[in-house]
Chain A
Amino acid sequence: AIQMTQSPSSLSASVGDRVTITCRASQGIRNDLGWYQQKPGKAPKLLIYAASSLHSGAPSRFSGSGFGTDFTLTISSLQPEDFATYYCLQDNSYPWTFGQGTKVELK
């Protein structure tokens, strides 16, 4: 199975900060990667698919990049509603695998 290594596991940031989260795949997955946001007690929400495509309804401050093994989720200016846990998910081959998650907390 493809392993997804996500970093950092947590970070502290302030409103307005630029935040970057990375995922590394154990083998090449082209651009078959999505990013999800999850708040406590809620289902995950899709933010980015195909590594860099913004999902309909997701704010434009979220962006994704990468191809092959290294991927990045960037929040250009952190907003109060962005404090949450973020996961990457590779959908290149089964079994699909998630990263371990990154919890974004208020500094």
Chain B
Amino acid sequence: EEHLVESGGGLVQPGESLRLSCAGSGFTFSSYEMNWVRQAPGKGLEWVSYISSSGTTVYYADSVKGRFTISRDNAGNSMSLLMNSLRADDTAVYYCARELIAGALDCWGQGTLVTVSS
């Protein structure tokens, strides 16, 4: 069965950094483009970042550009999101999601909560 599992969330202070990880299993991780999506408490979904299957192409939401870095390790079947200069409005559940060929997100992890607060 295909699975994605996020880890690395927690409580950090404003200005600090955090690295999230996403581990894939049950499918050929290196064949898929991947994304991060977040959801602030009680709010809607927000797309955060994309990485191509090879890792050579990345995109970011304007709200995180310059602060977040997406990367992947295909040999280790994992993806990461390095989050620097965290702000209170980065508080959210962060989901990793696999992208179908058609561009839709067909497999999601359970999410990991990031709380930015002093």
> Contact between A46 and B45 (Cβ–Cβ < 8 Å)?
no
Interface residues of B in 43-79 (CB under 8 A from A): 44-47, 50, 59-62
B61 adjacent to A34 (CB under 8 Å): no
Instruction: List B contacts of A98 (CB < 8 A).
Output: 44-47
Report B20 CB to chain A, min CB distance, Å.
15
Whether, in the assembled complex, B111 has its beta carbon less than 8 Å from a beta carbon of chain A, the answer is: yes
Look across to chain A and name the residue whose beta carbon is closest to the beta carbon of B65. Answer: A95
- If A94-B59, A95-B62 touch, whether A34 touches B47 (CB-CB below 8 Å) is no
Min distance, Cβ B23 to any Cβ of chain A, angstroms: 15
Within 8 A of A (CB), among B64-118: 95, 100, 102-106, 108-111
Main secondary structure of the interface of B (DSSP, over half): strand
Count class of interface residues, chain A: 20 to 34
Q: A1 — nearest CB in chain B belongs to which residue?
A: B62
B108 partner residues in chain A, CB cutoff 8 A: 43-45
Partner of A49, one of B37, B45, B47, B103: B103
Interface centre among B35, B60, B102 (most CB of A within 10 A): B102
Number of A-B contacts (CB under 8 A): 61
Which of A1, A91, A98 counts the most B-chain CB atoms under 10 A from its CB?
A91
Contact of A43 with B44 in the complex, beta carbons under 8 Å? no
Q: Does the CB pair A49–B102 fall under 8 Å?
A: yes
A43-B111 contact given A53-B102, A94-B59, CB 8 Å threshold = yes
| Cβ-defined contact, A96 with B47, below 8 A | yes
Contact call A95/B59, Cβ cutoff below 8 A: yes
With contacts A49-B100, A94-B59, A95-B59 taken as known, whether A34 is within 8 angstroms of B44 at the C-beta atoms is no
- Please pick, from B35, B62, B109, the residue contacting A43 in the complex, using a CB distance under 8 A: B109
List the interface of chain B (C-beta within 8 A of A): 35, 37, 44-47, 50, 59-62, 95, 100, 102-106, 108-111
Interface residues of A (CB under 8 A from B): 1, 32, 34, 36, 38, 43-46, 49-50, 53, 55, 87, 89, 91, 94-101
What 10 new A-B contacts, CB under 8 Å, besides A46-B105, A94-B50, A101-B44?
Answer: A44-B95, A45-B108, A89-B45, A89-B47, A91-B104, A94-B59, A96-B47, A98-B45, A98-B47, A100-B44
